[in-house]
Amino acid sequence: MHQRVDEDFKMLQRNQRLWSDLTRLALSAEQARTTVLQRSILVSLDYNIRTARQYAIKEAHARTFEWASIDPSQGGQTTFKDWLLNGNGVYFVSGKPGSGKSTLMKYIAEHKETNAALQQWSNGNRLVTASFYFWNAGTPMQRSLDGLLRSILIQVLEQCPELMPTLFPDRWDNLLSAGIYNFSLAPWTIPELKSALQAIAGKTLSSKFALFIDGLDEYDGTDREIVEYINELANSADIKLCLSSRPHVDFIKAYGHNKDRIMFVSDLTMEDIKIYVRDRLGENEAFKTIKLQHPERYQHLKDEIVVHAKGVFL
């Protein structure tokens, strides 16, 4: 009797282990299928040289743009930090050609203090960041709404792959029905891409999104068109956008009314220009000689260069 009970108990244990193994295999297979489908969507969204413009932008010169490192004790810097910590909607960076807008945007987007401030803003929710750099000298995708939408969505989905069924419900259902060996991906359309990004703005996702978009003036559509689309995203309390552009009328009209939410780069970079000029002249042997032999003349030349630069690095 006892032997039979022991045998039954051992068989039950084996069956439980077998069931556990089968469950793990099923879960692994499901996870593998999900991973394949997620990766397929990311690959289909991507395009050639998507990040080329970002990597081509020069790094900020050593010690320049330090005013943008969000030190609240420095008058004009308070508003930007306040926006990162507490604001929503749009913060607008404007400046003349060559004033360093793109360099500044890259600096801000990648700076550790920016991330730290945004983490406080997210208040325990997952923080998702993404950036895009319009470039009118690049490929059509680098200056189009299509390129912007794809790039932002790729970055969002790389951080939150589980959002794919929410953002692309029809496409996801079709992929699941077809199976990983038989599916094919239909071409992406602008309405589908716009709908996906708008879903982020319209749904409660337990995440906060900070988007950095540089060079609105290099967009290949109209200024008003890109303003209208961005304003749709900016209505969400879970999304904030830091934008940059030359001071075109439509952009100033849309984003220049709140003086605490606009930064004119050329008005703020005088000290940066001085640092840049000093260091570059310090590399030139002729100017080194002038500095040693005629220090007053050297100082005058340096001041003249800074004044004529008018906040422009080029």
Comparing 4-18, 93-107, 149-163, 230-244, the range with the smallest average pLDDT is 4-18
**Parallel, antiparallel, or unpaired: how do β-strands 126-133 and 207-214 relate?**
parallel
Map residue 84 onto helix, strand or coil: helix
DSSP assignment of 223-282, as one string?
HHHHHHHHHHHHT-TTEEEEEEE---HHHHHHHSS-GGGEEEHHHH-HHHHHHHHHHHHH
pLDDT in tens, 185-220: 789 999 999 999 999 888 777 899 999 999 999 999
Binning pLDDT at 50, 70 and 90, where does residue 288 land? Answer: confident
The CATH superfamily assigned to 46-160+205-266 is P-loop containing nucleotide triphosphate hydrolases (3.40.50.300)
Long-range contacts of 135-140 (CB under 8 A, 24+ apart): 135/53, 135/215, 135/218, 136/215, 136/218, 136/219, 136/220, 138/49, 138/52, 138/53, 139/48, 139/49, 140/220
pLDDT at 70 over 60: no
* Predicted local confidence at residue 125, as pLDDT: 95
* Predicted local confidence at residue 157, as pLDDT: 96
pLDDT in tens, 231-276: 999 999 999 999 999 999 999 999 988 888 998 887 666 666 667 7
**How many residues in the chain?**
314
Mean pLDDT, the chain, whole residue set = 81
pLDDT in tens, 171-193: 898 888 876 655 567 899 999 99
Longest alpha-carbon distance in the chain = 111
Q: What is the rounded CA–CA span in Å between residue 268 and residue 65?
A: 9
pLDDT at 18 over 90: no
Residue ranges of the chain that CATH labels 3.40.50.300: 46-160+205-266
Show the tokens assigned to 121: 């803003």
